[in-house]
Structure 1
Amino acid sequence: MRVVISGYYGYHNVGDEAILKSIITALRSQDANIEIVVLSNDIEYTKKTYNVEAINRWNILQIYNELRKSDGLISGGGSLLQDATSNRPIKYYTFIMKISKLVKKPVFIYAQGVGPISDNLNKKITKKSFEKADYITLRDKESIDLVKSIGVTKSIDLVPDPVMGFSIDRFESNICDKYEGDYISISVRDWDKAKTDFLKKVAKACDDIIENGYNVVFLPMHGRHDYETSRKVSDMMNNDCDIFPHESSIEEKILCIKKSKLMIGMRLHALIFAASANTPMIGISYDPKIDSFLNLVNQLCIGSVDDNWSGDDLSHKALIMLKNYEYERSKVIEESKELKIVAKQTAIKAIEIFKK
């Protein structure tokens, strides 16, 4: 069997790369001989990292030829179909699906999060692509509601994010060994749409947490972009903190979260990593997908970047959770247990579709 995978890959965003790794691992667990071709922005990196074939995601002729040779297309996961950033993602990803249908190959939408979609034309494009897909799996109820609201009538399965199926028991790294004592991990990102200086609130909370005997380690999820934001927050602080190497691997970043007592995160996959590692978490929301996931695993959201919470509010909540660490950890274990099992089953459904 030969499948093509389309998504936001080869941009060195740890969340999206973790999705890709999870999908590949899940597929290979069902079919050790499966041939996988990934549409990537960094071909050599993708080939080397995942031991797959990779082609330029912008080379339409090559994509057309690969899809002709394949047994089908996997589109996802992640938040591919949204127009919050621009109209380009919806146009690009639905065009890839269109090529697959043009060469009469099945399309499997794999654990995607959809939205927001504001433009009416984008809604029509998305509806048409979903109606022609052979199987649709989405990762949250809000995405399903949105897709149904734009007129999609096909059956849709609700499944966990692929990263929830990531097995982390055998990960090893000594990077975290240099962090002495108990620490919390922090994942921040820039968000130029924010109307408040939420990063300053995070800095105040981190100072309070350090003054109560814990260390703080910032974890850049999107390479140098998040490193610079982490550095910005650390420069606002009165106390010393650490910043995890931004070029470190997915496994090393998950281990950093696993060994921490608490994750305070903006990036969705920092929070998903925390659930996978059974680490309690507090989310800071800039997108409905953050709220959806925190609700799914019954974990705290301090509010959106523009809500009226303070650094004192955040540190107060964090310190209460740290004081009750064993109870908070047991909650995460219980809430994420079933999700970890179900996440691995999406690959089974995909292979069944491609075998038809």
Structure 2
Amino acid sequence: MVNILISGYYGFDNIGDESILRTLVSSLREHIPDCSLTVLSHNPTSTREKYGVEAVDRMSPMAILRAVKKCDMLISGGGSLLQDVTSSKSLHYYLSIIRCAEFFHKKVFIYSQGIGPIDRPGNRRAAAAALKRADGIVVRDERSASLLEEIGIARDKVVITADPVIRMKKPDGDVGAEILRKAGVSLDGRLTVGWAIRERDTDSRFVKELLRSIQMMKDKYNAQSVLIPFHYEEDGEVCRHIAAQLPDDTAVCLNEKYLSEDMLSIIGNMDLLVGVRLHSLIYAAIMGVPLIGISYDPKCTAFLNSVGLDKLSTKENFTAELFLPEAERVLETGKEQVERVEVHMAKLSRKLDTNEKMICAIMEKSRKYTMQDPQNNTEKKDKSGVRTAGAISFVFLLTLFAKLLGVVREMMQANIFGTGIDADLYTASYNSTLYLFTTMCYALCIAAVPILTKEFAADRKRGEKAANNLLTITLLGS
């Protein structure tokens, strides 16, 4: 059994990251049938139910520590985890988990990540220090590999594949069609355009240009637009705002959270997908839907280039006048675009098997090393014995020091108070209390150690509860 711990931006209802986790879990189970998977999640209960894995709270230090100590390998999985554009806090959060795994001598694998941007010098040094000790590094694009080389990671240590979501299987389109009908979208041959945007400011220039673009598509093609929030918490408000600003039959906003397979099915029912979110573009490519990419981050441009396309514009430079001619062109040549993208997607999908092959090789090498090198096991036992002997010696020296202090106390007491009957009575009363307390402590140690050892072996939580109860009773009694 191989215990694998997966770290990432999971449990936040972000369709892109949830899609990464789904493909990662299914692929690991396919290639390593005897693996046990644990995920660090914002919502452990939901993650357990969705993916059938163990899950722990990603913000609980003790839960993370126990999960790291238990695992054989940490996978820092997918997405743009190691970057400081969002904030330095998220970068150091993921690096701290990597460093924790390295501290406990666990295998560390970077799984098809998009690295960067990492702009601050201190953050670059921290990332380099952690990643240099990783057992395997796989990135999803050339830009990420170049950044790692800039910060000091040897290029031959880095493998380039693709985004894990590319490997998702096409679902049945009927599920998405039913969701769209319930939301008020008519699927009767009318041109349907999906919009997967990334914006929080309802009054931004970008939103105003989107409103104009949607209205132009309605005027020219009688198109109905569907606002699709890929990250419901971040995108939902702006999507609802845009739909509310337009006539009733112009735009519909999807107002529910969906599983990644359902969202993929929804995208499959579009005639054109206009995407800002990276994984909306990947979904369109998987489902064979003509697409137009608006880039808010270099990762979007990198993916579009990897499937033979280019971005329409950046989010900051987007205008309705720029969009309409591109929409006309893509609608006219959509079949050719889809065929070209399919060829590239097939190549990228085959590359992704590199992740699991490397993971299997790393774990197999570790297993053989442990089995074939008994000297290594002997050394570990010797080190453990040295640590135990050191602890015993330390306790012995402390006890000896305490006894010597006791002798000094007796000498000072005799020198100051003399050796009369009063001093003898004081010494007797003091020692009687001390002997009683020492006897009780010895008795508790002799009785408690085997009991607590048994409780901890059976169930850690039960052992902790028993230890707490014993400590409470002892303190109250004293």
What's the offset of the Cα at 1:170? 5.0
**Is 1:285 aligned to 2:292, yes or no?**
no
CA contact (8 A) 1:2 1:35 kept: yes
* Residue of structure 1 equivalent to 2:259: 249
* Residue of structure 2 equivalent to 1:229: 238
What's the offset of the Cα at 1:228? 1.0
Structure 1 vs Structure 2 CA RMSD: 1.9
1:28 partner amino acid: R
Structure with greater Cα Rg: 2
Residues 346 and 179 (structure 1), Cα distance of their counterparts in 2 relative to 1, 3 Å cut: farther
What's the offset of the Cα at 1:49? 0.6
Question: What per-residue deviation string (whole Å, max 9, x for no partner) do you get for residues 304-351 of structure 1?
Answer: 1222x4202212211221122222221221221211222244223223
CA contact (8 A) 1:3 1:36 kept: yes
* TM-score (structure 1 length as normaliser): 0.94
* Residue of structure 1 equivalent to 2:398: none
CA contact (8 A) 1:227 1:246 kept: no
* Residue of structure 1 equivalent to 2:167: 165
* Residue of structure 2 equivalent to 1:274: 284
Structure 2 gaps, min length 5: 366-478
Question: What per-residue deviation string (whole Å, max 9, x for no partner) do you get for residues 56-87 of structure 1?
Answer: 11222222222222210000210001111111
- 2:180 aligned to 176, 179, 190, which one? 176
CA contact (8 A) 1:110 1:346 kept: yes
2:222 partner amino acid: G
What's the offset of the Cα at 1:93? 0.5
Q: How does 1:94-113 map to 2 (within 5 A)?
A: 94-113=95-114
What's the offset of the Cα at 1:171? 6.6
SS for the counterpart of 1:301 is coil
* Residue of structure 1 equivalent to 2:136: 135
* Residue of structure 2 equivalent to 1:353: 362
**Is 1:215 aligned to 2:217, yes or no?**
no
2:43 partner amino acid: D
Residues 157 and 57 (structure 1), Cα distance of their counterparts in 2 relative to 1, 3 Å cut: same
SS for the counterpart of 2:112 is strand
* Residue of structure 2 equivalent to 1:13: 14
CA contact (8 A) 1:189 1:266 kept: yes
What's the offset of the Cα at 1:187? 0.4
Alpha-carbon separation, structure 2, partners of 1:348 and 1:246: 38
Bigger mean CA offset, 38-47 vs 147-156: 147-156
* Residue of structure 2 equivalent to 1:188: 197
Question: What per-residue deviation string (whole Å, max 9, x for no partner) do you get for residues 86-143 of structure 1?
Answer: 1111111111011111111110000111111111110000011110100000011111
Percent identity of the aligned residues?
30
Q: Name the count of aligned residue pairs.
A: 354
* Residue of structure 2 equivalent to 1:73: 74
* Residue of structure 2 equivalent to 1:122: 123
- 1:202 aligned to 206, 210, 218, which one? 210
Question: What per-residue deviation string (whole Å, max 9, x for no partner) do you get for residues 260-294 of structure 1?
Answer: 12211111111111122222211111111111111
CA contact (8 A) 1:276 1:340 kept: no
Structure 1 gaps, min length 5: none
1:280 partner amino acid: P
**Is 1:261 aligned to 2:265, yes or no?**
no
2:346 partner amino acid: K
1:179 partner amino acid: S
Residues 98 and 171 (structure 1), Cα distance of their counterparts in 2 relative to 1, 3 Å cut: farther
The structure with the largest helix share of the pair is 2
SS for the counterpart of 2:340 is helix
Alpha-carbon separation, structure 1, partners of 2:100 and 2:294: 38
Alpha-carbon separation, structure 2, partners of 1:118 and 1:191: 24
- 1:313 aligned to 303, 322, 336, which one? 322
* Residue of structure 1 equivalent to 2:43: 42
SS for the counterpart of 1:224 is helix
CA contact (8 A) 1:221 1:246 kept: no
CA contact (8 A) 1:81 1:93 kept: yes
Residues 191 and 148 (structure 1), Cα distance of their counterparts in 2 relative to 1, 3 Å cut: farther
* Residue of structure 2 equivalent to 1:296: 306
Alpha-carbon separation, structure 1, partners of 2:124 and 2:218: 47
Residues 164 and 299 (structure 1), Cα distance of their counterparts in 2 relative to 1, 3 Å cut: same
Question: What per-residue deviation string (whole Å, max 9, x for no partner) do you get for residues 220-259 of structure 1?
Answer: 1001321211122223435621122431211111111112
Alpha-carbon separation, structure 2, partners of 1:191 and 1:290: 19
Residues 170 and 258 (structure 1), Cα distance of their counterparts in 2 relative to 1, 3 Å cut: closer
Alpha-carbon separation, structure 1, partners of 2:290 and 2:33: 34
Residues 78 and 98 (structure 1), Cα distance of their counterparts in 2 relative to 1, 3 Å cut: same
Residues 18 and 200 (structure 1), Cα distance of their counterparts in 2 relative to 1, 3 Å cut: same
Alpha-carbon separation, structure 1, partners of 2:161 and 2:99: 24
SS for the counterpart of 2:10 is coil
1:156 partner amino acid: V
Alpha-carbon separation, structure 2, partners of 1:262 and 1:25: 29
SS for the counterpart of 1:78 is coil
- 1:329 aligned to 327, 335, 338, which one? 338
SS for the counterpart of 1:118 is coil
CA contact (8 A) 2:77 2:112 kept: yes
What's the offset of the Cα at 1:172? 5.3
The structure with the largest strand share of the pair is 1
CA contact (8 A) 1:219 1:246 kept: no
* TM-score (structure 2 length as normaliser): 0.71
CA contact (8 A) 2:173 2:269 kept: no
1:75 partner amino acid: S
